[in-house]
Amino acid sequence: MDLTTVLGKDQGLLALKMGIQWHELSPEYSVATMPVEGNTQTFGILHGGSFVVLGESMGSIAANIYAHQNGLGMAVGIEVNATHTGSGVSGYIIGTCRSLHLGRTLTTHEIVCTNEEGKRLSTVRITNLIKKVAG
């Protein structure tokens, strides 16, 4: 999926370096994948920060699409948290992003990160502030 077509911008260099690929994308529901390989920490498992990068990327892009579609401005993250409940050891991590709140000034998304077998490995929650864009 080409974000430039949907949003007018790409996903940013960090998400590109992490290998994030988009499969579905809307303000309410998105799916993306990220490889474990290349995103590991010292012990050979997925770095916990990688879950946060995937989740924050997904929630921020979904919030920006919502803001753009509704003429509200742009969305910027103001809070993110993650609870890791498992380790990614190989293959791909699948992120499923669902909106919890889509308002005029705030959006909140929950991103569930699983392995390819469907085991939940991390849950990320992000709140974005919607700001007017000068122009």
What is the pLDDT at residue 4? 61
Beta-bridged to residue 84, according to DSSP, are 122
Domain count, the chain: 1
Check whether 13 has a pLDDT greater than 90. no
* pLDDT tier at 3, thresholds 50, 70, 90: low
What is the pLDDT at residue 10? 72
* pLDDT tier at 6, thresholds 50, 70, 90: low
Name the active-site residue from 24, 37, 56, 110: 56
Q: Is 56 a catalytic residue?
A: yes
What predicted TM-score, i.e. pTM, was given to this entire model?
A: 0.92
Strand order in the sheet with 120-131: 21-24, 29-35, 92-102, 106-114, 120-131, 74-84
Average pLDDT for residues 84-103, to the nearest whole number?
98
We report the CATH number of the domain holding residue 76 as 3.10.129.10
**Rounded Cα distance, 29 and 131, in Å:** 22
- Domain hosting 82: range is 3-131
Tens of pLDDT, residues 22-68: 999 999 999 999 999 999 999 999 999 999 999 999 999 999 999 99
Among residues 71, 70, 95, which one has the least CA distance to residue 82?
Answer: 95
Q: What share of the chain is helix, strand, coil (3-state, %, to 5)?
A: 25, 40, 35
Are 99 and 60 contacting, i.e. CB atoms less than 8 angstroms apart? no
* Average predicted confidence (pLDDT) for the chain: 93
